[in-house]
A and B are shown apart, each in its own frame.
Chain A
Amino acid sequence: MTSALKAYAVRLLPQAAALAVILVMVSLAFPGFFRLEMQNGRLYGSLVDILNRGAPVALLAIGMTVVIATKGIDLSVGAVMAICGAVAAACITSGHGLATTLLITLATGILCGLWNGILVAVLDIQPIIATLVLMVAGRGIAQLVTEGAILTFNDPGLIFIGSGALLGLPMPVVIWLAFGIAVALLVRRTALGMLIEALGVNRRAATLSGVSTGVLLIAAYMLSGLCAAIAGIIAAADIRGADANNAGLWLELDAILAVVVGGTSLLGGRFSIAASLIGALIIQSINTGILLSGFPPEFNLIIKAAIIVMILIIQSPRAQSAFAFLSRPRAEDGKTEQEAK
């Protein structure tokens, strides 16, 4: 058991270290960065902002991790966010209750995932093409729902999801943490994780071993749709309105980046939801850090790109093997050799 825990820690080490370095860098540029205070019964400070603003990408990254583990990719999540935000706003403004609204919205997201899953698993369309369909069409669907305008609402329940607080933490943070832990437990406490990894590494071998690869694939895209729906609700609730043109715009790329920074290979197989969530926090820390630093906006993208390139270089197999060589304790070396013998 302890060895499993240790393996877990080793797996998350590069991401955690990268996050720590970035946080320290930001605090050097902006001294008040780590300050936290209670205000109106909730924690208030830049660190909380990172957790809060990172919520949509963190949620998308949960679903994206599982999809990428199956050797797929889901480009539609940004558009599904827009659809679900629009559906939620339309439902609540047309007089449905909060529970009904949430139910309908989550179902919409799952339905979008089902569509993607069927294209990928049943029709065998390449995931990047299959999900591109909804990526392009989805924003149009969202615009149809909102009729091109920002659909605002005043329902206190729905707004609470965006800007309320529970136990001192903003609701979006509570939601993504809880959902992330729930999904991580679901895949690791059952056999789902292993079956998904087998499917991602070698779909045919997994099928021949009796794994229901088709059902698993569809389920992965449905999970991704569900994550996008939750992210869409949060994004809409945050600004008290559904903005079909801009909600979730380009966030699919941030989510994919979070997964990659989290060390899950785009070739499928081994995955870690915790690492992807740290990846999402890394991306948001960079965003928030740039905003706090006060650089002119023309530099935003360049700085972000430079930091991410550095992280990816550190994570590259070549750099990793160099680190492994430098940091390997001698004693353990001898032991493994003996065992091997």
Chain B
Amino acid sequence: MKFRTALASATILAASMVGAASAADLTVGFSQIGSESGWRAAETTLTKQQAEQRGIDLKFADAQQKQENQIKALRSFIAQGVDAILVAPVVATGWDEVLQEARDAEIPVILLDRTVDAPEDLYMTAVTSDLVHEGKVAGQWLADTVAGKPCNVVELQGTTGSSPAIDRKKGFEEALAGKDNLKIIRSQTGDFTRTKGKEVMESFLKAEDGGKNICALYAHNDDMAVGAIQAIKEAGLKPGTDILVVSIDAVPDIFQAMAAGEANATVELTPNMAGPAFDALEAFRKDGKLPPKWIQTESKLYTQADDPAKVYEEKKGLGY
């Protein structure tokens, strides 16, 4: 039923779009949450870059963490008659009305990075990463790397109860399932911060025979890993060699550590959500091909073999 309405709405949209204009001079509105983290800033930078490369006229609105600002921005985009709207929703609920308005105006809406609790036919697609998959990629890398040798793993969790912490833990455990050589011996929260990552790692090292008992560290984000790497060094061990370090996010600082041989791998939570969104939009305008309801971004694995120094240089200008 849902699928059918979605299809119907898409047909209406398709008809209007094809008749409208060529792909070249698109105008797209982008309502961003704000700039609360380095990742968010990088997402903004990359979206602007992507739009420029494709010759898209991007109208940018910063909502400063407020949904009411986002709704205002969406209404003004609708009033301006943009060709499409990108929105990174600050909360999940309360979007039905304004999305309906966009639909009535026949403007396709693409969600970035987060999803909403609204009927699927009200938006064209959502571009997000898969948190569980990220954890799985990290776990798979570790399993492949140790290749059957016994390995004790310590885990630095994200903020207790947050969805990235839950999902990244779950994915990692799924990858390790059935591999008896890999064992998570300690798991504590590091609150996603460097300070806590360092403090908790210090206690892991003390508790596990000065670290001699630890073979690998899995951190739910790079910041905690960066803090933990310092703790490992201060304990007289070599991170990356004595203790393998794998984490998630792929922020620039972890590439520096990888270049120095102190971190082994990171799984990218790409800030380039706009690229796949624009791809889908352009494909749709060209031949009316409707994208799937969920476009999963690639959870790319980076290791020391991927020239981390170069990736660092590429990434550091993005505003992380």
Do A and B touch directly, given a CB cutoff of 8 Å in the complex?
Answer: yes
How distant is the Cα of A247 from the Cα of B195 in the complex, in angstroms?
8
Number of residues on chain B facing chain A (CB within 8 A): 35
CB neighbours of A163 from chain B (8 A): 230, 234
Q: Does A329 contact B (CB under 8 A)?
A: no
Q: Does B223 contact A (CB under 8 A)?
A: yes
Nearest-Cβ distance from residue A233 to partner chain B, whole angstroms: 13
Nearest-Cβ distance from residue B40 to partner chain A, whole angstroms: 8
Q: Are A239 and B198 neighbours in the complex by a CB distance under 8 Å?
A: yes
How distant is the Cα of A44 from the Cα of B186 in the complex, in angstroms?
21
How distant is the Cα of A297 from the Cα of B158 in the complex, in angstroms?
10
Nearest-Cβ distance from residue A298 to partner chain B, whole angstroms: 6
**CB contact under 8 A between A149 and B234, given known A238-B198, A292-B206, A297-B187:** no
Please name 10 pairs of A and B residues whose Cβ atoms are closer than 8 Å in the assembled complex, sorted by A: A40-B236, A149-B320, A150-B253, A163-B234, A235-B195, A238-B198, A240-B230, A246-B192, A292-B203, A292-B206
Tell me which of A45-53, A268-276, A317-325 binds B: A45-53
**Closest chain A residue to B34, Cβ basis:** A148
Which residues of A pack against B, CB within 8 Å? 30, 32, 39-40, 44-46, 49, 53, 147-150, 152, 163, 235, 238-241, 243, 245-247, 287-288, 291-292, 294, 296-298, 300
Q: Does B235 contact A (CB under 8 A)?
A: yes
CB neighbours of B187 from chain A (8 A): 296-297
Nearest-Cβ distance from residue B64 to partner chain A, whole angstroms: 11
Q: Are B236 and A294 neighbours in the complex by a CB distance under 8 Å?
A: no
CB neighbours of B191 from chain A (8 A): 246
Nearest-Cβ distance from residue B229 to partner chain A, whole angstroms: 10
Q: Majority SS of interface residues in chain B? A: helix
**Closest chain A residue to B209, Cβ basis:** A32
Q: Which of B41, B193, B200 contacts A149 (CB 8 A)?
A: B41
Q: Are B157 and A292 neighbours in the complex by a CB distance under 8 Å?
A: no
Q: Are A148 and B199 neighbours in the complex by a CB distance under 8 Å?
A: no
Nearest-Cβ distance from residue A47 to partner chain B, whole angstroms: 10
CB neighbours of B204 from chain A (8 A): 291
Q: Which of A243, A294, A296, A298 contacts B207 (CB 8 A)?
A: A294
Nearest-Cβ distance from residue A151 to partner chain B, whole angstroms: 10
Which residues of B pack against A, CB within 8 Å? 35-38, 40-41, 157, 160, 186-189, 191-195, 198-200, 202-204, 206-207, 223, 226-227, 230, 234-236, 253, 319-320
**Closest chain B residue to A39, Cβ basis:** B236
**CB contact under 8 A between A297 and B160, given known A239-B226, A292-B206:** yes
CB neighbours of B202 from chain A (8 A): 49, 53
Nearest-Cβ distance from residue B238 to partner chain A, whole angstroms: 13
Q: Are B195 and A238 neighbours in the complex by a CB distance under 8 Å?
A: yes
Q: Are A245 and B36 neighbours in the complex by a CB distance under 8 Å?
A: yes
**Closest chain A residue to B253, Cβ basis:** A152
Q: Which of B157, B199, B226, B234 contacts A53 (CB 8 A)?
A: B199
How distant is the Cα of A245 from the Cα of B36 in the complex, in angstroms?
8
Q: Are A297 and B188 neighbours in the complex by a CB distance under 8 Å?
A: yes
CB neighbours of B227 from chain A (8 A): 239
Q: Which of A39, A148, A298 contacts B36 (CB 8 A)?
A: A148
Q: Are A246 and B189 neighbours in the complex by a CB distance under 8 Å?
A: no
**CB contact under 8 A between A245 and B37, given known A39-B236, A292-B207:** yes
CB neighbours of A46 from chain B (8 A): 203, 206
Q: Are B206 and A45 neighbours in the complex by a CB distance under 8 Å?
A: yes
Q: Are B319 and A149 neighbours in the complex by a CB distance under 8 Å?
A: yes
Nearest-Cβ distance from residue B242 to partner chain A, whole angstroms: 14
**Closest chain A residue to B35, Cβ basis:** A148
**Closest chain B residue to A53, Cβ basis:** B199
CB neighbours of A291 from chain B (8 A): 188, 199-200, 203-204, 207
CB neighbours of A39 from chain B (8 A): 235-236
Nearest-Cβ distance from residue A288 to partner chain B, whole angstroms: 6
**Closest chain A residue to B320, Cβ basis:** A149
CB neighbours of B199 from chain A (8 A): 49, 53, 287, 291
CB neighbours of A32 from chain B (8 A): 206-207
CB neighbours of B207 from chain A (8 A): 30, 32, 291-292, 294
Q: Which of A147, A148, A240, A243 contacts B193 (CB 8 A)?
A: A243
How distant is the Cα of A40 from the Cα of B233 in the complex, in angstroms?
11
**Closest chain A residue to B42, Cβ basis:** A149
How distant is the Cα of A298 from the Cα of B198 in the complex, in angstroms?
19
The residue in B35, B38, B192, B206 that gathers the most chain A C-beta atoms within 10 A of its C-beta is B206
How distant is the Cα of A291 from the Cα of B40 in the complex, in angstroms?
31
CB neighbours of B192 from chain A (8 A): 246
